[in-house]
Amino acid sequence: MQELLISFSTNHTYLIYALIIILACAEGPVLSMILGVLIKLNYFVLLPIYISLMIGDLLGDIIWYYIGYHFGHRFIGRFGKYFSITEDNVTKVTNIFHKYKYRILFISKISNGFSIALAILVTAGMMRVPFLKYFGTNLVGQFIWTGMLLGIGYFFGDLYMTVDTWLGRISVVALFVVALVAALGYKKYLKTKAETIAL
């Protein structure tokens, strides 16, 4: 199985990286942790994965910026509820954006936005934040955030390889799954909390 995966990743390199870029637009954090494990297990090489993850996440940032820039309140009114972007969230972000916009963008990027990241990105577009500064701030934050998540996954991969019993390895895998579920649960909790505050 391991040889099959390595062979596939070697023979379909561009396809795999393209898929990673697409998936990173939707769920970069979880994907980054999983790929960190796979890097340690020698399925992938660090640098191309790092770059692919960053490209995918930053493409998502660009899309949300232009949605806010060109469609703004119309998009929020019609589709915002599907992405947890509300007028109240945007208003709250706008109130502090004038003074701290680049700090907010940076902190949002390295903390997954406390589950209002999309509202922050859309607001940046609506407020006509200069695109190059917007992109530069997100680029720096993305470099740190992606590195942290890959590091977490790499740690679990290293732990897996140092354990020499099947029971121990099963325990490591179970711990990693628990960590992923906990991360998703915490994200859902922050999302619910943000929606409650907005009400």
- CA–CA separation, 35 vs 31, rounded Å? 6
Residue 145, token pair as written in the block:
């955030």
**DSSP state for residue 41 in the 8-state scheme:** T
Going residue by residue through the chain, which has 199 residues, state the pLDDT in tens, using 9 for 90 and above. Answer: 445 555 655 666 778 888 888 888 877 777 888 888 888 888 888 899 999 999 999 999 999 999 989 988 888 888 877 777 777 777 777 777 777 778 878 877 776 655 567 788 888 888 888 999 999 999 998 999 899 889 888 887 776 666 555 555 566 566 666 666 666 555 555 455 444 444 3
pLDDT value at position 10? 60
Q: Residue 114 is which amino acid?
A: F
The model scores a pTM over 0.75: no
pLDDT of residue 164: 54
Residue 118's closest CA among 33, 26, 19? 26
The predicted structure's pLDDT at residue 74 = 87
- Residue 162's pLDDT is 64
Using CA atoms, how far apart are residues 146 and 143, in angstroms rounded to an integer? 6
Token representation of residue 194: 């943000």
pLDDT at residue 63, as a whole number: 92
